[in-house]
Amino acid sequence: MTLTRRAFLRTVGPGAPSPAMITARGREALEGEFGVVETALIPPPDMDEIRISSNENPLGPGASAIQSIKDNVSYSNKYPMNSPITDTAIRTRLATHYDGAKTENIVIAPGSGEVLRNCVRAFCGPSRPLVTGELSYGSPVSTAELFDLPVKKVPNQADLGLDLDKMAGAAIGAGLVFLCNPNNPTGTAHSKRAITDFVRFVAKESPFTYILLDEAYHEYVTAANYETGADLALRYRNVLLGRTFSKAYGMAGLRMGYAVATKETAAKIRAYKLTFGANVLGLASVSGSLDDPDHLKQEVVRNTAVRDYTIDFFRSNGYWVTDAQTNFIFVKTGMTAKAFRDGCAKHKVMVGRDFPPYEKEYARISIGTMDEMKRATEVFREVLGISATDAGSGSN
Amino acid sequence: MSQSRRNFMKTMGVGAAGAYAATLISTRKQESIAFAAETGIPVDEVINLANNENPMGPGQPVLDTVIESLGTHGETPGRYPFMKAGPLDDAIAAKWNVKKENVLVGAGSTQILVNATQTYTSNSHALVGSLPTYEECFGYAATVGHKTKAVPLTSDYKMDLDHTFYACKGAGMLFYCNPNNPVASLVDPAEGAEFIKRVLKMNKDLRILVDEAYIDYVTTPGHKTMMKEALEDPRIIVARTFSKAYGMAGLRVGYAIAHEDTIKELAKYNMGNSISVLTYAAATAALARDAKDPSFITNESQRNTEARSFTRKWFHDHGYKDTDAQANFMFVDVKMPVEDFQAACRAEGLRVGRPFPPLWTHCRISIGTMDEMQRAVKIFDKVLSAAKAQAA
């Protein structure tokens, strides 16, 4: 434990609420996206909050991307189609990453969130429900509810992975299946073989059902049997791939994502696109990032090492953790997500929100830097009541 | 009135223009494709008078703030924008002396237009607007299958308030773009105020979306924002943008000012945050500058007025009729098919506005810098002289 933190824990008692801090975080903005925001303590000026609640990349997008933003800032007055790096140019460039793809197969969005929303809007209807995992990324469900569209939630498997067999059954007659792979908030990933079988089954048994394969965390996966489903999106009219620059690319704040699909299917979601959605500096940053593929590789290596460290901390202390392939993990803490979150927040460590129906015993923890996770695991130890003997060798 | 417009008005009465929206949309998509085909041309060598951009940008201090906001190591963009939204809401509220509950920020006023169309129109409650007008609302209504009624402009290219009044019977929302894009004309301030009262009295459920994207460029005495009315009456929404006088078209940010209850309804459809942290930094910095020194916008408006007057005078001197432009663009009858005019200008490295059906011989010309407009009129001279010679 650092000296600063010791001093902090001594001087500030638990539970002191801080309206100032809530305001600083933009409470309503947070609530809109993540549900109710918990109170926290006033941060001492010499100590930074560790934000491991939103699956962000703590390091940002890398030098090449930042340079590209700087080079293009003077084009802030141009609409994206008139800036030096147009959205069409980025689409063309992204198409080269996928065998057989052309510019027309890529739809740019201000974050992949728009792809998710527009798939629900384009493919679901009053008699064509959205099918999703019970414990999966919630945004498509929110969209369906906003537009009064029916939702079928399929319970997760025992290992908390999506239950592809049951989802395939539920897919018959559905408008859209949301298949988050790796899955948020569990971090679990399915093999290419399993995804391919799923797509083939649905295409055959329910040809009017679309499948959105959300690969937001694709870059972070280390499981050997995992591969992207991009080829499926280009081959099957009813499959779309969603990707984002918010995670491994470190651009959550710049709002850039995209979809890959056949020309006809891409046109269906493009109809719902916000006009000029992607901003010129986001486009510039993507361009800079694509110039530096090594940076992405380093980020994946970094995340994997910190993820291994964090998973090892929990497992060595007797806690069950999902097979997380992402920049977050999902842990059975044995206490409510709220109690764990509030406990951590008192020590300036912000972890994930409730994920019903698993909020009674599980917490989602994003992977920060190694330094941050070393501090965070000390806090976890305290909150969970793990005896503070030697780090790594304690038992529950 | 041009022959083509006469024909159009003969064949399409008020309310019949719903199907017409589809044509407008496809024309718009073609524009993007055409630009894409030109990616080989360096942006800096082309005079772009096609998209009503502010050639001056948001000012160096704002751009410096954007760069500073990247963080010491460029780490800030790694974080979601949640924490940046509050300060911009507060700055907008402070600027207009309203509560932050009266403000909704969107990814360009585009998002406000879309949200309002989604919220207040349906397959039974029509969207009403002028033909032509800015197409965002009509495009969205067509996508989601909401009813539309487009009212042709008067013979002097102004919003036809009498016909619009009738079209608003039973309608869900009137899109009131003032100054109107693409024709640059403004509703007479007194007539407009009277019309809004009258139409809201006639249709108590009607919403009016007042798009004030170009208000900073208006020079007509007596013209005022509708914000005061919007705060008092939940049925009126004012949309504003940072894309025009604030020079941030590429950063995608705008907002609505309306009654608290209306803002809540519109916010439901904002659906996730599409605004960049760098955009928040720029817009917040621009408003902080305004608060200290409001001259940025007045200077920009003055600059635009001079370049606009110069360009309009050139056309008047050469026998071309235009509308009384109140925006950072003008609308002039070039007396030749606008597609031909556009192509001929393009060949000279000058982009002008695309066709805005049904006005096939009118061109929308954005106002660039005085230097750009001086170069542009030479190209107009060449193109229009050649067309005249060919016709003779």
- Quote the CA–CA distance of A206 and B313 in Å, as a whole number: 64
Mean pLDDT of A139-143: 97
- Picking from B148, B143, B144, B152, the residue whose alpha carbon sits closest to that of residue B125 is B148
Would an 8 Å CB–CB cutoff place A20 in contact with chain B? Answer: no
% residues pLDDT > 90 (chain A) = 85
pLDDT tens digit sequence for B153-192: 999 999 999 999 999 999 999 999 999 999 999 999 999 9
Q: Give chain A positions within 8 Å (CB) of B275.
A: 110, 255
| Min distance A104 CA to chain B CA atoms (Å) | 11
Domain A78-292 has what CATH class?
alpha beta
DSSP alpha helix (H) spans, A147-279: 164-171, 192-205, 230-235, 263-270
Closest in A24, A82, A250 to B78, CB measured: A250
φ and ψ at residue A106, rounded to 5 degrees: -110, 130
pLDDT tens digit sequence for B338-386: 999 999 999 999 999 999 989 999 999 999 999 999 999 999 999 999 9
Domain with CATH 3.90.1150.10 in chain A: 3-60+294-384
The angle that helices B136-144 and B20-36 make with each other, rounded to 10 degrees, is: 110
Buried b (16+ CB within 10 A) or exposed e, B175-203: bbbbbbbbbbbbbbeeebeebbeebbeeb
Would an 8 Å CB–CB cutoff place B93 in contact with chain A? Answer: no
What does pLDDT average to over chain B? 90
| Min distance B18 CA to chain A CA atoms (Å) | 18
List all residues of chain A from 82 to 121 with a beta carbon under 8 Å from chain B: 82-84, 86, 88-89, 110-111, 113-114, 117
- Picking from A318, A299, A275, A283, the residue whose alpha carbon sits closest to that of residue A367 is A299
Q: What is the pLDDT of residue B14?
A: 39
Q: What is the ipTM of this complex?
A: 0.90
Q: Are the beta carbons of B252 and A276 separated by less than 8 Å?
A: yes
Give the pLDDT band (50/70/90) at residue B11: very low
User: In terms of residues, how long is chain B?
Assistant: 392
Does position B22 have pLDDT exceeding 60, yes or no?
A: no
Does position B123 have pLDDT exceeding 60, yes or no?
A: yes
List all residues of chain A from 138 to 157 with a beta carbon under 8 Å from chain B: 139, 142-143, 146
Mean pLDDT of B200-224: 98
Q: Give chain A positions within 8 Å (CB) of B107.
A: 110, 255, 274, 277, 279
As a whole number of Å, the CA-based R_g of chain B is: 21
Q: Give chain A positions within 8 Å (CB) of B115.
A: none
Would an 8 Å CB–CB cutoff place B66 in contact with chain A? Answer: yes
Q: What is the pLDDT of residue A42?
A: 39
User: In terms of residues, how long is chain A?
Assistant: 396
Does position B111 have pLDDT exceeding 50, yes or no?
A: yes
What does pLDDT average to over chain A? 89
% residues pLDDT > 70 (chain A) = 86
Neighbours of A272 (CB within 10 A): 19
Q: What is the pLDDT of residue B26?
A: 36
Q: What is the pLDDT of residue B42?
A: 58
Q: How large is the greatest C-alpha to C-alpha distance in chain B, in angstroms?
A: 66
Closest in B55, B74, B269 to A60, CB measured: B74
Q: Give chain B positions within 8 Å (CB) of A54.
A: 79-80, 82
Give the pLDDT band (50/70/90) at residue A354: very high
pLDDT tens digit sequence for B288-334: 999 999 999 999 999 999 999 999 999 999 999 999 999 999 999 99
When mean pLDDT is compared across A1-5, A272-276, B136-140, B170-174, the lowest value belongs to A1-5
Q: Are the beta carbons of A110 and B107 separated by less than 8 Å?
A: yes
Closest in A82, A252, A274 to B79, CB measured: A252
- 3-class state of residue B130 by DSSP: strand
Q: What is the pLDDT of residue B271?
A: 82
Q: Are the beta carbons of A25 and B58 separated by less than 8 Å?
A: no
Closest in A56, A76, A113 to B251, CB measured: A76
Q: What is the pLDDT of residue A48?
A: 83
| Min distance B183 CA to chain A CA atoms (Å) | 20
Q: Are strands B236-241 and B207-211 parallel, antiparallel or unpaired?
A: parallel
- Quote the CA–CA distance of B108 and B279 in Å, as a whole number: 10
| Min distance A81 CA to chain B CA atoms (Å) | 7
- Picking from B261, B111, B89, the residue whose alpha carbon sits closest to that of residue A27 is B89
Give the alpha-carbon dihedral of A152, A156, A157, A158, to 10 degrees: -140
Q: What is the pLDDT of residue A389?
A: 58
Token pair recorded at residue B181:
């894009």
List all residues of chain A from 283 to 312 with a beta carbon under 8 Å from chain B: 285
Q: Are the beta carbons of B86 and A54 separated by less than 8 Å?
A: no
Angle at B58 between CA B55 and CA B64, to 5 degrees: 130
Give the pLDDT band (50/70/90) at residue B29: very low
**Mutation for testing the B interface, residue in A76, A141, A143 having most B CBs under 10 Å:** A76
Give the pLDDT band (50/70/90) at residue A270: very high
Does position A255 have pLDDT exceeding 50, yes or no?
A: yes
Sign of CA dihedral A47, A52, A55, A59: positive
Closest in B248, B252, B273 to A77, CB measured: B248
Q: Report yes or no: A117 and B271 within 8 Å, Cβ to Cβ.
A: yes
- 3-class state of residue B157 by DSSP: coil
Would an 8 Å CB–CB cutoff place B268 in contact with chain A? Answer: yes
- Picking from A344, A304, A107, A142, the residue whose alpha carbon sits closest to that of residue A223 is A304
Mean pLDDT of A376-392: 83
Q: Are the beta carbons of A281 and B278 separated by less than 8 Å?
A: yes
Q: Domains in chain B, start-ordered, CATH in brackets?
A: 3-57+296-391 (3.90.1150.10), 60-292 (3.40.640.10)
In total, the C-beta contacts within 8 angstroms joining chain A to chain B are 206
Mean pLDDT of A207-217: 98
- The position carrying tokens 């599980």 is A362
Give the alpha-carbon dihedral of A352, A357, A359, A361, to 10 degrees: -130
Mean pLDDT of A235-248: 98
Closest in A73, A80, A88 to B39, CB measured: A88
Q: What is the pLDDT of residue A171?
A: 98
- By CA distance, what is B141's nearest residue in A? A272
List all residues of chain A from 317 to 346 with a beta carbon under 8 Å from chain B: none
- The position carrying tokens 């073989």 is A193
Whether the ω angle into residue B81 lies within 30 degrees of 0, i.e. cis, is: no
Does position B18 have pLDDT exceeding 70, yes or no?
A: no
Would an 8 Å CB–CB cutoff place B67 in contact with chain A? Answer: yes
Q: Are the beta carbons of A77 and B81 separated by less than 8 Å?
A: no
- By CA distance, what is B282's nearest residue in A? A76
CATH number for the domain formed by residue range(s) A3-60+294-384 = 3.90.1150.10
Does position A29 have pLDDT exceeding 60, yes or no?
A: no
Domain with CATH 3.40.640.10 in chain A: 78-292
Query: What CA–CA distances, in Å, run from A139 to A243, B183, B320?
Result: 15, 40, 54
Closest in A23, A74, A89 to B86, CB measured: A23
Would an 8 Å CB–CB cutoff place A272 in contact with chain B? Answer: yes
Q: Are the beta carbons of B71 and A117 separated by less than 8 Å?
A: no
Q: Give chain A positions within 8 Å (CB) of B249.
A: 76-79, 276
pLDDT tens digit sequence for B46-79: 899 999 999 999 999 999 999 999 999 999 999 9
Would an 8 Å CB–CB cutoff place A76 in contact with chain B? Answer: yes
Closest in B74, B139, B282 to A76, CB measured: B282
- 3-class state of residue B241 by DSSP: strand
- By CA distance, what is B140's nearest residue in A? A272
List all residues of chain B from 12 to 41 with a beta carbon under 8 Å from chain A: 32, 35-36, 39
Closest in A57, A271, A277 to B274, CB measured: A277
Closest in B80, B268, B272 to A253, CB measured: B80
Does position A35 have pLDDT exceeding 90, yes or no?
A: no
Mean pLDDT of A164-168: 98
Q: Give chain B positions within 8 Å (CB) of A117.
A: 271-272
Give the pLDDT band (50/70/90) at residue A277: confident
Amino acid (one-letter) located at A5: R
Angle at B273 between CA B52 and CA A298, to 5 degrees: 105
DSSP alpha helix (H) spans, chain B: 3-11, 20-36, 60-68, 82-96, 109-120, 136-144, 161-167, 189-202, 227-232, 260-267, 277-292, 295-317, 338-347, 370-391
- Quote the CA–CA distance of B255 and B274 in Å, as a whole number: 13
Would an 8 Å CB–CB cutoff place B354 in contact with chain A? Answer: no
Q: What is the pLDDT of residue B43?
A: 56
| Min distance A196 CA to chain B CA atoms (Å) | 30
Give the pLDDT band (50/70/90) at residue A318: very high
Close Cβ partners of A271 (under 8 Å, ≥ 6 residues apart): A122, B143
Q: What is the pLDDT of residue B272?
A: 81
Q: Give chain A positions within 8 Å (CB) of B284.
A: none
